[in-house]
Structure 1
């Protein structure tokens, strides 16, 4: 059972008797706690980023998405908070550019196209492929809000993302609490 909304606990009164409806509500609450919304998405195809431009990073692979918040064909950079499961989500992302020894590399998390304070990171280029990782932080999402990981680079020209078996651009999130 996946895709369950956040449920409201039943409020018992002295005269209540246990019914199938109440039992199903308890079952759904426990199932939600066992299987809350979570998402793992990453790049399987390289992407070119322009010089000094914040760019949402496409995620064409989504091995974990039980609530269906991501599409691998439309707006592939976005995870959209689904109806019934608004709340606090723990979010982290990584931007993995190809090696280049010029300029800086940066990554940030955006919600609805706006950067989230405290969820960005910068590194000087070291000439080799490297993963620039955002801090991990809880972010409040309403249903319909979307989260993206964005990359930025200042190599002087376009720079592609790296696709390695053990290092690639990605976004991770999971429901934390209401």
Structure 2
């Protein structure tokens, strides 16, 4: 039964019998939802080229788990979209890896419906050329049905810079209604 909406307890009055409908509404559905929360985790399986000085959506082309079907590996694959019945507060975490390059800086942004809500920044050590940048950013975000979140990469190395797919991904976990 994935996709069960956030349950709303029924009103109980004195003298009500515990019917199957009342039991399902107040006990079973609530427990089932809590044991099967909306959860998405995915990662990037192939390197993505990020242009210098450009904010670029991070492609997530491999899904590990998606209990409510909010992500597509092929269409708008940078997004996790909240599905019917799963509105609420989500913990969204994006991670971003870049191949080794000592020039410029790196940033990772979390966007809600195309607007920046959280920024993670890495000031790269220009004296080293053997260190790959790895950034992580987490936000608690209130999402309605149809809202989407995605990660965006930014870098200023002077040229295009590839992501490190082993360190690039996103998770979205429902936390509260």
Deviates more, 1:51-60 or 1:124-133: 124-133
Q: Which moved more, 1:125-134 or 1:64-73?
A: 125-134
SS at match of 2:32: helix
The aligned residue for residue 141 of structure 1 is 143
What TM-score comes out, normalization by structure 1 length?
Answer: 0.93
Deviation at 1:106, TM superposition (A): 0.4
The Cα offsets for residues 121-151 of structure 1, whole Å up to 9 and x where unpaired, read as: 11122432221111x3310000000000111
- Which structure 2 residue ranges, 5 or more long, are not aligned? none
Distance in 1 between residues matched to 2:63 and 2:120, nearest whole Å: 24
| Residue equivalent to 1:163 | 165
Q: Deviations over 1:106-127 (max 9, x none)?
A: 00100001000xx211112243
Say whether the 8 Å CA contact 2:58–2:78 is kept in structure 1. Answer: yes
Structure 2 residue 107 is matched with structure 1 residue 106: yes
Cα deviation per residue 1:31-79 (whole Å; 9 max; x = unaligned)?
Answer: 1011111111110011111111111100011111111000001000000
After TM superposition, give the deviation of residue 93 of structure 1 in Å. Answer: 0.7
My pick for the range that moved more, 97-106 or 19-28, is 19-28
User: C-alpha separation between the residues in 2 aligned to 1:11 and 1:146?
Assistant: 33
Deviation digits for residues 63-112 of structure 1, max 9, x if unmatched?
Answer: 11111000001000000011111110011111111111100000010000
Rounded to whole Å, the distance in 1 between the matches of 2:69 and 2:16 is 37
- 1:9 counterpart residue number: 9
TM-score (norm 2): 0.93
Give the CA RMSD over aligned residues. 1.1
Determine the C-alpha separation between the residues in 2 that align with 1:10 and 1:65: 29
Distance 2:124 2:139 in 1: 25
SS at match of 1:23: helix
